[in-house]
Structure 1
Amino acid sequence: MEAVLVDGDHDWTVLRPAGLFDTPAVSDYRPAGARLSGRYTARADLANALLRHAVGDLRGRHLRTFVDVRTTDGVPRLFDVIRKEAFG
């Protein structure tokens, strides 16, 4: 799939989240055109990054690039994520 994007003539940006988790609001997160450390991305942060890349202040900044998105504040522990997925 990535080869189709890279070889095409359209502008594109792919946002790559890590493990997703829920938060009530957008928190601190980091988008970068390089691999980022960290295990998790809040769904609210990913949504905000998508909007900023589509119509906001990051529009056009990462054309033809794969962008990692990682949440930097309020990240859950691995055990908490597993417990929530297993037991709701």
Structure 2
Amino acid sequence: MEGLTSFLPFIAIFAVMYFFMIAPQMKRAKQEKKFASALKRGDKIITKSGMHGKILDLNDKDNSCVIETLAGKIKFDRSAISMEMSKKLNAPETKK
């Protein structure tokens, strides 16, 4: 019984770490993967580096997309697209 009680704090620490760190990170990764797979032509997006553009073409072979910007066309990996900023960009504007 003493052996179990000595490991109880470690088990509690692991449980807290799981519920506050690991589980939310796994949920976020799943959401980002779903967002990247739901992209379609014509979507206005913002990359994680801050570049604005519109999706011209999607390539499922190498998981990339071609984005049209003011400077021209650029090929990006789908994981380089910011989920939060792109959702804000495509959200309907509300009048104040």
| Greater RCO, 1 or 2 (C-alpha within 8 Å, sep 6+) | 1
Indicate the TM-score class for this superposition, using the shorter chain for normalisation.
under 0.3
Q: Which protein shows a greater Rg? A: 2
TM-score with structure 1 setting the length:
0.24
More helix by share: 2
